[in-house]
């Protein structure tokens, strides 16, 4: 029986939660020095920059489906005339993959519209496969020597391998690993962007294309892959602290 005049303590010896003073002094969630909207905007900035660069280049690449040699610079025209089908397949499928890259990297789309993410992912994988195989075919038709040919062939192989690893991880239900491999694949897709930026530098500096272009064949994608790896390593530490995903927490395949 409850004794009169003696307050009953609730919650393991604390004061009654109905006390207004108790409610006022409850611990509030810690606030960062930036508002949540500002943090979200900062995180989406790289994706917006990527979209601004990738969309125009992807649209221009789709124009090559017309198979008109007049649309090509003189250095690429030789390769086109030697391998017209492979060249058009590489440029158009690669352009489509580039257009889809900012969309597929969007966490908002992945969370809010997973079905659209899955279907667009299938299109992205198909485009990368066609562009990678065709790129491997035309890599050795470059007019700028064996160093450039080896660089573009290595890019095609790395592009195909990272995309395939991403698909296999999704099929296995390992979505952290799937996202990591698809980030690498996207970095290689964006070689189309860095290639053109580096070519602009070559032209502006009036460098010899016979020397500069073979270097661009490697520098258009190796720095991209290195940046992707660095970003993935910064993201991997908190995930390792949480422990590996269990079969119960895995979802159905995304592609």
Given a cut of 50, whether residue 12 has pLDDT beyond it is no
Taking only the tens place, the pLDDT of each residue in 33-84 is: 556 565 555 567 888 888 899 999 999 888 877 767 666 666 677 777 778 8
What whole-number percentage of the chain has pLDDT above 90?
A: 50
pLDDT, position 235:
79
Nearest to 159 by CA among 180, 183, 128: 128
Cβ proximity of 98 and 58 under 8 Å:
yes
pLDDT in tens, 163-201: 999 999 999 999 999 999 999 999 999 999 999 999 999
pLDDT score, position 142: 86
Burial class (CB within 10 angstroms; exposed 0-12, middle 13-18, buried 19+) of 121 = buried
Q: How far apart are CA 85 and CA 159, in angstroms?
A: 20
10 three-state secondary structure: strand
Local confidence band at 254 (pLDDT 50, 70, 90 cut-offs): very low
């Amino acid at each position: 029986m409850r004794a009169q005049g003696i307050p009953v303590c609730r919650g393991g010896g604390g004061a009654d939660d109905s006390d207004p003073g108790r409610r006022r002094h409850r611990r509030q969630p810690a606030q960062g020095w930036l508002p949540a909207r500002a943090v979200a905007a900062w995180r989406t900035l790289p994706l917006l920059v990527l979209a601004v660069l990738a969309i125009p280049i992807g649209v221009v690449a789709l124009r090559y489906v017309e198979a008109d040699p007049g649309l090509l610079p003189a250095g690429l025209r030789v390769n086109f005339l030697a391998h017209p089908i492979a060249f058009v397949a590489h440029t158009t499928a690669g352009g489509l993959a580039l257009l889809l890259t900012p969309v597929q990297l969007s966490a908002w789309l992945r969370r809010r519209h997973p079905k659209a993410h899955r279907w667009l992912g299938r299109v992205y994988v198909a485009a990368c496969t066609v562009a990678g195989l065709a790129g491997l075919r035309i890599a050795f038709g470059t007019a700028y020597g064996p160093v450039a040919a080896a660089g573009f062939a290595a890019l095609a192989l790395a592009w195909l391998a990272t995309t395939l690893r991403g698909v296999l991880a999704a099929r296995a239900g390992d979505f952290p690993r799937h996202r990591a491999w698809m980030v690498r694949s996207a970095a290689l897709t964006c070689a189309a962007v860095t290639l053109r930026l580096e070519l602009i530098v070559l032209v502006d500096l009036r460098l010899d294309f016979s020397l500069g272009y073979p270097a661009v064949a490697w520098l258009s994608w190796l720095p991209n892959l290195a940046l992707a790896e660095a970003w993935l390593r910064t993201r991997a530490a908190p995930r390792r602290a949480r422990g590996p995903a269990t079969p119960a927490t895995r979802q159905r395949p995304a592609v």
